């Protein structure tokens, strides 16, 4: 919830600065689109843009509940453009994929270079166990 709140606050500050909107109930889909486009310009990480999209989706739900509980009326908010923009950003590589594989290319060499026997034995056992799970089955 706290991470969504930080994104919401950032979004509200964006709306105040660029759109002069102070009443969050006046948010419309084109505001969400403009905000997502604004964020995509800075080449965010894939995870961060996914978090922004999810937070804006939760904001849509919160605004609907707010209108229902406070004003006793049903207001429609449709921020589905956020998912479209997220998908397009992924497809067009407008987001950074910061995944780094941390697996060693040659774990046997690493194990053989260790000095402390307390470190060697558990790693050998773990390596054997991993090989058992990844070895092809003889049928």
Give SS3 for 8.
Answer: helix
Question: Taking the complete model, does pTM exceed 0.75, yes or no?
Answer: no
Give alpha helix (H) positions in 2-114: 2-14, 29-40, 46-71, 81-91, 107-112
pLDDT tens digits, residue range 5-64? 999 999 999 999 999 999 999 999 999 999 999 999 999 999 999 999 999 999 999 999
């Amino acid at each position: 919830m706290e991470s969504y709140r930080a994104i919401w606050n950032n979004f509200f500050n964006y709306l105040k600065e660029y759109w002069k909107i102070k009443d969050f109930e006046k948010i419309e889909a084109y505001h969400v689109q403009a905000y997502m486009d604004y964020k995509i310009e800075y080449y965010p990480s894939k995870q961060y843009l996914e978090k922004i999209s999810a937070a804006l989706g939760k904001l849509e739900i919160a605004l609907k509940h707010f209108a229902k509980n406070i004003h006793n009326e049903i207001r429609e908010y449709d921020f589905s453009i956020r998912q479209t923009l997220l998908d397009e950003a992924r497809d067009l590589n407008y987001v950074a994929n910061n995944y780094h594989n941390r697996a060693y290319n040659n774990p046997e060499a690493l194990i053989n270079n260790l000095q402390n026997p307390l470190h060697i034995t558990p790693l050998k056992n773990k390596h054997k166990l991993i090989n058992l799970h990844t070895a092809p089955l003889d049928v």
